[in-house]
Amino acid sequence: MALARQPLKGPLRPLMPDSLSDEQVRLLRLDAQRLVQPEAERSAASVARTLVGIQAQDQGAAALAVRARTTGLIAADIASERNHERSIVRTWAMRGTLHWIATEDVRWLLALLGPSSIAKNRRRREQLGLDDDTCARGVRALRESLARRGPSTRDEIVDDLAARGIRLEGQARPHLLYVAALDGVICCGPDRGSKETYVLLDDWVPRGPTLSRETALAELARRYLAAYGPASLPDFATWSGLAIGEARDTWQLIADEIVELDTSVGVQWILRARAKGARERRAGPPTVRLLGWFDNYLLGYRNRELMASSGYGKRINPGGGLVHPTVVVDGRVVGTWRSKRQRSRLELAVEPFELLSSEVARGVEAEAADVGRFLGLQSGLEIALVG
């Protein structure tokens, strides 16, 4: 359903009468995402803080999102941040999906977004035999189990709850964990080999100051535009999971901090502090990045038209919630890629939509080599057009 543009009240005025070009919008987004000049000595936590969470239903893909925005880190560094330093936490957050969240952001994000995400899935839980009463009993039992056992795998949790008279079958299992996490009871804990564990949030994440809902909403909008702007109001609603009406009200909370830009895809907004450089052109070679599955650069927007041509949409987003690994040049998706590990070697296959220039091809080669470095593997690369 199309969303009609609603003018915001307050001292907002267009930054300039002319539209920003598509190239300018893309470069501003790249810069906001820390994809133009990845910084040395950054951490997964700093990336998670910048992006307000890293999409992490696939943790290998989340690690690649950190790689693309840093230099020098390796995958083992990120595992240490999760399992030992606890500077990032894996839990359900925006849109009710799994993210790596900077530890200091976990509690206020859950308090803000958790209740609505829980409410949206109530009917499905009832179909699975998890009515409100059963769900409440299950969460209480889960809290008691983890308090006694400490970090536990999903199978261990299911067995322990069954011994307490709460039997979970099929999809009821992840749905109970989902509710408990969004309610701030549990989060993902340290890996046990290849298996994930769950822990009590209070055992894993320090308590911090409590934010009022209005303060939290303003912080969410401010942080979103810092990481994804220029962006539209529907982009913010889609990314956050907020209803469009509440998203619009939230935009108003920071009305004096943002300005309006005209673009080929309609009105976009940006933080006033970043608006002064909106027209600057960047000199130098193209920015080439290999982004993994579900990268924030694509998932941060409802409308991806500026980054990805609709003619190649099915190759990027074939359905079922999948967003394939992409080759991005100066903010525009120019192809997809895949990898296959063979012992200590990683073979990457890049499938561009069109013939790549020699300069872009060199950038792809450098990125492929860095993916191998990050994973501690020798890498090989094949670039082949697919008709």
Question: Does 24 map to a domain?
Answer: no
pLDDT of residue 42: 82
* 159 lies in some domain: yes
Q: Residue 141 belongs to what domain range?
A: 87-204
- Tens of pLDDT, residue by residue, the chain (387 residues): 233 334 454 434 444 435 899 999 999 999 999 999 877 768 999 999 999 999 999 999 999 999 999 999 999 999 999 999 999 999 999 999 999 999 999 999 999 999 999 999 999 999 999 999 999 999 999 999 999 999 999 999 999 999 999 999 999 999 999 999 999 999 999 999 989 999 999 999 999 889 999 999 999 999 999 999 999 999 999 999 999 999 999 999 999 999 999 999 999 999 999 887 776 666 688 999 999 999 999 999 999 999 988 788 888 988 877 899 999 999 999 999 999 998 889 999 999 999 999 999 999 999 999 999 999 999 999 999 876
Residues 298, 308: contact at Cβ < 8 Å?
yes
Dihedral sign from CA coordinates of 363, 366, 370, 371: positive
Residue 9: its pLDDT value, please? 47
**Does 146 fall in a domain?**
yes
Q: Which helix (H) or strand (E) element contains residue 18?
A: none
165 occurs within a structural domain: yes
Question: Into how many domains does the chain fold?
Answer: 1
pLDDT at 206: 93
Which DSSP string corresponds to 323-381?
Answer: ---EEEETTEEEEEEEEEEETTEEEEEEEESSPPPHHHHHHHHHHHHHHHHHHT-EEEE
Q: Is 147 within a domain?
A: yes
Domain-embedded: residue 126: yes
Here the CATH number for the domain that contains residue 159 is 1.10.10.10
Q: Is residue 379 part of a domain?
A: no
Question: Does residue 143 lie in a domain region?
Answer: yes
Token reading at 25: 């919008």
